[in-house]
A and B are shown apart, each in its own frame.
Chain A
Amino acid sequence: MIEFQNVSFSYDKKTPVVQDLDLVIKKGETVGLIGANGAGKSTILKLMLGLLYGEGTIIVDGLSVTKANLPMIRKKTGYVLQDSDNQMFMPTVYEDMMFGLRNYGMSREAAEARVDAVLEQLGLQDLKYRHNHKISGGEKRMAAIATVLVMQPEVILMDEPSTALDPFNRRTVIRTIQVLPQTKVIASHDLDMILETCDRVVLLSHGKVVADGDCGMILRDRALLEQNRMELPLCMQMQGV
Chain B
Amino acid sequence: MDKLSGAQSELREMDVLAAGISVVHRLHPLCKLLVTVTYIFIVVSFHKYDLSGLIVMVLYPVLMFQAAEIPVRVFFYKLRVVLPLVCAVGLANPFLDRMPLTQIGNLVITGGVVSMLTLMLKGCLALMASFLLVATTPIDMLCGALRKLHVPKVLTALLLLTYRYVGVIMGEASAMSQAYSLRAPGQKGIHISAWGSFLGQLLLRSMDRAQELYSSMELRGFQGEFFYSDIPACRVSSVMFVLVSCSFFACARVVNIAWLLGNLVVR
Residues on A facing B (Cβ under 8 Å): 49, 51, 71, 74-75, 77-79, 81, 83, 85-89, 91-92, 95, 99-100, 102-104, 108, 131, 133, 147, 151
Complex contact B216–A108 (CB within 8 A): no
B217 touches A104 (CB 8 A): no
The answer to whether A89 and B164 have CB atoms under 8 Å apart is: yes
8 contacting pairs across A/B (C-beta < 8 A): A51-B215, A79-B216, A87-B213, A89-B213, A91-B19, A91-B138, A103-B223, A133-B12
Closest residue of chain B to A46 (Cβ to Cβ) is: B215
Asked, given contacts A83-B212, A91-B15, A131-B12, whether A71 binds B223 with beta carbons under 8 Å apart, the answer is yes
Instruction: Judge whether B12 and A104 touch: CB under 8 Å.
Output: no
Binary per-residue interface labels of chain B (211-222) against chain A in the complex, 1 for a CB within 8 Å, 0 otherwise = 011011111111
A-B contact count (CB 8 A): 59
Q: Report whether A131 and B15 are in contact in the complex, using a CB–CB cutoff of 8 Å.
A: yes
Give every chain A residue within 8 A of B140 (Cβ-Cβ).
95
Using A86-B212, A89-B164, A131-B15 as known contacts, say yes or no to A49 and B229 having CB atoms under 8 A apart.
Answer: no
* B138 nearest CB neighbor, chain A only: A91
Within 8 Å CB of B230, what residues of A?
108
Name B156-213 residues within 8 Å CB distance of A: 164, 167, 171, 209, 212-213
Contact partner of A86 (CB less than 8 A), chosen from B164, B213, B221, is B213
Contacting residues, chain A, for B216 (C-beta < 8 A): 79, 81, 86-89
**Inter-chain contact B223/A99, CB cutoff 8 Å:** no
Q: How far is the CB of A55 from the nearest CB of chain B, in Å?
A: 21
Residues of A within 8 A of B167 (CB): 133
Residue contact A77 to B219, C-beta cutoff 8 Å? yes
Chain B residues positioned under 8 Å from A151 (CB to CB): 220
When distances are taken between beta carbons in the complex, the residues of chain B under 8 Å from A92 are 19
Can you list, as one digit per residue, whether each of B222-241 has a CB less than 8 Å from chain A (1) or not (0)? 11000101100000000000
In the bound complex, what is the Cα–Cα distance between A233 and B103 (angstroms)? 90
Neighbouring B residues of A78 by C-beta, 8 Å: 219
Give B68 Cβ to nearest chain A Cβ, in Å.
Answer: 18
Q: Say whether A100 contacts B221, CB under 8 Å.
A: yes
Q: When chains A and B are docked, how far (Å) is the Cα of A89 from the Cα of B212?
A: 10
Q: Is B16 an interface residue (CB 8 A)?
A: yes
Range of interface residues on B (Cβ < 8 Å): 20 to 34
Which residues from chain B contact A88 at a C-beta distance below 8 Å?
216
Smallest CB separation, B164 vs chain A (Å): 6
CB distance from B7 to the nearest CB of A (A): 13
- Within the assembled complex, what's the spacing in Å between the Cα atoms of A79 and B171? 23
Min Cβ gap A134→B in Å is 8
A89/B217 contact (C-beta < 8 A), A102-B227, A131-B16, A133-B12 known = yes
Bound-complex Cα distance A108 to B220 (A): 16
With both chains docked as a complex, state the minimum distance between the C-beta of A176 and any C-beta of chain B, in angstroms. Answer: 19
Do A81 and B15 contact each other (CB < 8 Å), given the known contacts A95-B229, A103-B222, A147-B220? no
Q: Which residues on A sit within 8 Å (CB–CB) of B209? A: 85-86
Q: Give the shortest distance, in Å, between A50 (CB) and chain B (any CB).
A: 9
* Across-interface contacts of B9 in A (CB, < 8 A): 133
Inter-chain CA distance A191–B265, complex, in Å, is 84
Instruction: Note all chain A residues with C-beta closer than 8 A to B221.
Output: 71, 74-75, 100, 103-104
Closest to A79 in B: B219
Q: How many whole Å from B159's CB to the nearest CB in chain A?
A: 15
Judge whether B219 and A49 touch: CB under 8 Å.
Answer: yes
Q: Contacts of A83 on B, CB cut-off 8 Å?
A: 212
CB atoms of B220 and A100 under 8 A apart: yes
A178 to B63, CA, bound (A): 56
A-B contacts besides A74-B220, A78-B219, 16 pairs, CB < 8 Å: A71-B221, A74-B221, A75-B221, A77-B219, A79-B219, A83-B212, A86-B213, A87-B213, A89-B164, A99-B217, A103-B227, A104-B221, A108-B230, A131-B16, A147-B220, A151-B220
Which residue from chain B places its CB closest to the CB of A96 in the assembled complex?
Answer: B220
Cβ contacts under 8 Å, A85 to chain B? 171, 209
Q: How far is the CA of A100 from the CA of B138 in the complex (A)?
A: 19
Pairwise interchain contact B212-A81, C-beta atoms closer than 8 A: yes
Contact with A along B75-112 (1 / 0, CB 8 A): 00000000000000000000000000000000000000
Query: Please, how many angstroms separate the alpha-carbon atoms of A77 and B221 in the complex?
Result: 11
Complex-state Cα separation, A83 to B175, whole angstroms: 15
A-chain residues with CB within 8 Å of residue B223 when the two chains form the complex: 71, 103
Question: Which residues from chain B contact A75 at a C-beta distance below 8 Å?
Answer: 221
